[in-house]
């Protein structure tokens, strides 16, 4: 296995699932994951708790901008956590909302091959990876196949009088994933950052009940994909977030509220795309196109081509780590726990994980190569992708 100073592995004693365990612990919910002692102490007896997840807000962004664009956050207590593996939205958000490690919940990435439907399906939007046709859940019950109890139902069971809220961008508020992972919390859609903080403040000031509130923002991840990690567009978003937090802080001062501002993963800029279709020998070894992520490839290799594959894959050693299936599962990269039944289907006989500024893709012949690739990605094993901030703000 190649060594690199940039390689960063998940720490399942100090990661997303440990943060969720800390919240559940605060509400008297039994959980098998280790809570974070300092967060448990911080949340004790707080009336309102907000878990605010900024998609793609890696520690690299916090570190770069906290002295200027994020000056409000600079003065708040902060620490460094890791994401889970793979550090990607499907796996990480599902870990937040279930309290489970990826080995347990099975949502291993954006694109998953479901043999039940003989299709590649982009898991979060539940659409066909090739045509982008959105499926109905009656005939394509991906969430029934990859299912887990969400934290809201567990909190409600122990705290029936608590107000549970789930803030999410308007365009995904009625998606199957949102509906399945939020009940019995009340879903509150918002249009932009200004609308979000206006509605959040109103909810806290109008209700007399204690709250647990989950807030999800698609940015800065969406902006990083399009423009790059340290782009002007990302910086502007963070500046706007900073100003919104200052105004929000004034508006709800003295409400006995703690906000846990964090992320699901970070991103790294991509300077080189590799396409399996361009490497005829590599592509000929594969049974299926690679998935689930451009920086985390599950490879289903033909049995009689394994020797050839090992020869061909050696050309990728400077940018990727190669695991054999057993070694990968034994490594604990997906965390510990009872393996979800779909792990067998999603993990091929080899795994290729990016450790540098590259991405690996299969090109579907009927679609051809995209005109514009993303400028940044995640799901690899670099500190930019793995390290996330946890900022604690008391109001």
Residue 4 falls inside a structural domain:
no
Beta-bridge partners for 128: 121
- The per-residue pLDDT for 5 is 47
| CATH number of the domain that residue 122 is part of | 3.40.720.10
Which tens digit of pLDDT belongs to each residue from 233-259? 999 999 999 999 999 999 999 999 999
Residue 124 falls inside a structural domain:
yes
Number of domains in the chain: 2
- The per-residue pLDDT for 207 is 87
Residue 227 falls inside a structural domain:
yes
User: What pTM did the predictor assign?
Assistant: 0.96
Tell me what the mean pLDDT of segment 352-361 comes to: 97
Is the pLDDT confidence value at 212 over 90?
yes
Is the pLDDT confidence value at 343 over 90?
yes
Contact indicator for 192, 26 with CB cutoff of 8 Å: no
CA–CA distances in Å: residue 311 to residues 273, 314, 325: 21, 6, 17
Domain shared by 187 and 291, yes or no: no
**Which of 125 and 1 is assigned the larger pLDDT?**
125
Average pLDDT, the chain: 96
Tell me what the mean pLDDT of segment 349-363 comes to: 96
Please name which of 12, 33, 94, 100 lies closest in space to residue 331, comparing C-alpha atoms: 12
Domain shared by 208 and 177, yes or no: yes
Domain shared by 68 and 154, yes or no: yes
CA–CA distances in Å: residue 365 to residues 119, 275, 288, 370: 15, 12, 13, 11
Domain shared by 89 and 191, yes or no: yes
- The per-residue pLDDT for 143 is 92
Which tens digit of pLDDT belongs to each residue from 293-311? 999 999 999 999 999 999 9
Domain shared by 207 and 285, yes or no: no
Contact indicator for 210, 203 with CB cutoff of 8 Å: no
Domain shared by 260 and 278, yes or no: no
- The per-residue pLDDT for 31 is 87
- The per-residue pLDDT for 6 is 83
Is the pLDDT confidence value at 3 over 90?
no
Domain shared by 57 and 102, yes or no: yes
Residue 7 falls inside a structural domain:
no
Domain shared by 247 and 282, yes or no: no
> CA 264, 266, 269 angle in degrees (round to 5)?
150
- Which residues constitute the domain of residue 51? 16-268+382-394
- Tokens 């969720």 sit at which residue? 20
Residue 3 falls inside a structural domain:
no
Under the banding of pLDDT at 50, 70 and 90, the label for residue 363 is very high
Contact indicator for 315, 328 with CB cutoff of 8 Å: no
What pairing do the DSSP bridges indicate for beta strands 211-217 and 48-54? parallel
Domain shared by 387 and 323, yes or no: no
Domain shared by 30 and 146, yes or no: yes
Is the pLDDT confidence value at 147 over 90?
no
Residue 2 falls inside a structural domain:
no
Domain shared by 250 and 310, yes or no: no
d(CA 87, CA 74): 24
Residue 35 falls inside a structural domain:
yes
- HSE-CB at 357 with a 13 A cutoff on CA atoms is 7
Which tens digit of pLDDT belongs to each residue from 126-144? 999 999 999 887 889 999 9
Q: DSSP labels for 326-363?
A: HHHHHHTTT-SSPPPTTHHHH--SEEEEE-SSEEEEPP
Domain shared by 216 and 190, yes or no: yes
| CATH number of the domain that residue 322 is part of | 3.30.1360
- The per-residue pLDDT for 136 is 84
Residue 136 falls inside a structural domain:
yes
Which of 46-50, 107-111, 131-135, 157-161 is predicted with the least confidence, judged by mean pLDDT?
A: 131-135
- Residue 180 CA to chain centroid, in angstroms? 17
């Amino acid at each position: 296995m190649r060594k690199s100073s940039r390689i960063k592995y998940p720490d399942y004693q100090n990661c997303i699932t440990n943060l969720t365990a800390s919240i559940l612990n605060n509400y008297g919910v039994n959980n098998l994951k280790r809570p974070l002692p300092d967060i448990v102490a911080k949340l004790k007896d707080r009336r309102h708790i907000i878990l605010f997840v900024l998609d793609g807000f890696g520690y690299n962004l916090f570190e770069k901008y906290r002295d200027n664009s994020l000056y409000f956050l600079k003065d708040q207590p902060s620490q460094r956590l890791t994401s889970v593996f793979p550090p990607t939205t499907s796996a990480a958000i599902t870990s937040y909302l279930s309290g489970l490690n990826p080995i347990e919940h099975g949502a291993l990435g954006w694109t998953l091959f479901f043999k039940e439907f003989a299709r590649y399906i982009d898991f979060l939007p539940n659409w066909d990876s090739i045509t982008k046709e959105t499926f109905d859940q009656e005939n394509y019950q991906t969430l029934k196949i990859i299912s887990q109890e969400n934290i809201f139902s567990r909190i409600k069971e122990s705290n029936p009088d608590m107000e549970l809220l789930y803030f999410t961008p308007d365009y995904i508020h009625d998606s199957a994933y949102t509906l399945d992972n939020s009940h019995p919390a009340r879903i509150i859609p918002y249009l932009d950052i200004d609308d979000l903080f206006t509605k959040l403040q109103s909810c806290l000031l109008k209700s007399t009940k204690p709250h647990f509130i989950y807030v999800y923002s698609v940015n800065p991840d969406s902006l990083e994909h399009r423009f790059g990690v340290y782009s002007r567009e990302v910086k502007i978003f963070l500046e706007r977030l900073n100003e919104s937090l200052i105004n929000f802080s004034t508006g709800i001062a003295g409400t006995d509220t703690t906000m846990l501002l964090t992320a699901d993963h970070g991103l790294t800029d991509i300077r080189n795309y590799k396409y399996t279709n361009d490497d005829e020998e590599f592509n000929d070894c594969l049974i299926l196109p690679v998935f689930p992520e451009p920086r985390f490839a599950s490879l289903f290799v033909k049995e009689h081509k394994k020797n050839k594959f090992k020869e061909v894959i050696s050309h990728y050693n400077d940018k990727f780590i190669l695991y054999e299936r057993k070694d990968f599962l034994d490594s604990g990269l997906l965390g510990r726990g009872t393996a979800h039944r779909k792990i067998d289907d999603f993990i091929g006989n080899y795994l290729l994980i990016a450790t540098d500024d590259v991405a690996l893709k299969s090109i579907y012949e009927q679609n051809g190569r995209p005109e514009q690739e993303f400028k940044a990605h995640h799901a690899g094993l670099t500190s930019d992708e793995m390290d996330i901030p946890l900022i604690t703000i008391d109001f």
